[in-house]
């Protein structure tokens, strides 16, 4: 059986397309499984007040505790879907670590997606509230608290119908505060 150039070219193109699709799918799969989890490490003077904030108010459990003299030097907290880690500034200063200077740069901001903002507000009674309940331009109801370690936690109840990608137009004369 003799094939002409057109069918051979067509078969070649189909095989090339299939190989490209397999390669692309494989690359995409590798990129999505490269990172399994992200957990912030928040640095504080004392770990205990922050541990109490999360465990007593918001139901987190301490899963790791590392002593540092007569106090906790490092702790990991988990609620099943969110994990946070705390470490003392002292623990970083004792380390031979190029990041120890970066620790003093300032507080972190943590965004927490919540199912019911009112339940969170009730749990935060007596905590330091930086910004009370407000509605954002993208329709979320949010409250911002400062946890005892000095880090800011933005609790946000997102609208149910929010798109996976939302573009919010900025002010007409918007200029970033910093030039990157």
pLDDT digits (tens, 9 = 90+) for 99-152: 777 777 778 999 999 999 999 999 999 999 999 999 998 899 999 999 999 999
134's enclosing H/E stretch is strand 128-135
Of residues 35 and 151, the one with the higher pLDDT is: 151
For residue 155, what pLDDT band results from cuts at 50, 70 and 90? very high
CA geometry: angle 29, 33, 34, nearest 5 deg: 115
Predicted confidence (pLDDT) per residue in 38-86, tens digit: 899 999 999 999 999 999 999 999 999 999 999 999 999 999 999 999 9
For residue 168, what pLDDT band results from cuts at 50, 70 and 90? low
For residue 93, what pLDDT band results from cuts at 50, 70 and 90? confident
d(CA 41, CA 124): 22
d(CA 166, CA 139): 11
**Residue 100: predicted pLDDT:** 74
CA pseudo-torsion sign 27, 32, 35, 41: positive
CA geometry: angle 145, 116, 62, nearest 5 deg: 60
Query: Which two structure tokens, joined as six digits, stand for 100?
Result: 């120890």
**Residue 106: predicted pLDDT:** 79
CB 128 within 8 A of CB 120: no
Query: Which two structure tokens, joined as six digits, stand for 120?
Result: 């969170």
d(CA 108, CA 177): 18
Of 158, 116, 105, 109, give the one whose Cα is nearest residue 130: 109
Q: How far apart are the first and last CA of the chain?
A: 65
- CATH topology for 41-157 is 2,3-Dihydroxybiphenyl 1,2-Dioxygenase; domain 1 (3.10.180)
Q: How many CB atoms lie within 10 A of CB 33?
A: 8
Question: Under the phi-then-psi rule, with left for phi > 0, alpha for psi from -120 to 50, and beta for the rest, what region is 106?
Answer: left
Question: Can you tell me the mean pLDDT for 148-160?
Answer: 93
Of residues 77 and 28, the one with the higher pLDDT is: 77
Question: Can you tell me the mean pLDDT for 88-100?
Answer: 76
**Residue 171: predicted pLDDT:** 59
């Amino acid at each position: 059986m003799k094939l002409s150039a057109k069918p051979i070219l067509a078969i070649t193109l189909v095989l090339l397309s299939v190989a490209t699709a397999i390669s692309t799918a494989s690359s995409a799969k590798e990129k999505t499984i490269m990172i399994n989890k992200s957990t912030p490490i928040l640095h504080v003077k004392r770990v205990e007040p922050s541990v109490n904030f999360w465990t007593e108010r918001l139901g987190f459990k301490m899963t790791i505790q590392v002593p540092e003299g007569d106090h906790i030097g490092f702790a990991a907290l988990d609620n099943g879907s969110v994990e946070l880690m705390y470490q003392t500034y002292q623990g970083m200063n004792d380390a031979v670590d190029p990041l120890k200077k970066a620790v003093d740069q300032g507080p972190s901001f943590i965004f927490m997606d919540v199912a019911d903002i009112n339940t969170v507000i009730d749990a935060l009674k007596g905590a330091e509230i930086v910004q009370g309940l407000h509605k954002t331009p993208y329709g979320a109801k949010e409250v911002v608290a400062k946890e005892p370690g000095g880090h800011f936690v933005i609790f946000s109840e997102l609208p149910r119908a929010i798109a996976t990608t939302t573009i919010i137009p900025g002010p007409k004369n918007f200029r970033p505060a910093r030039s990157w």
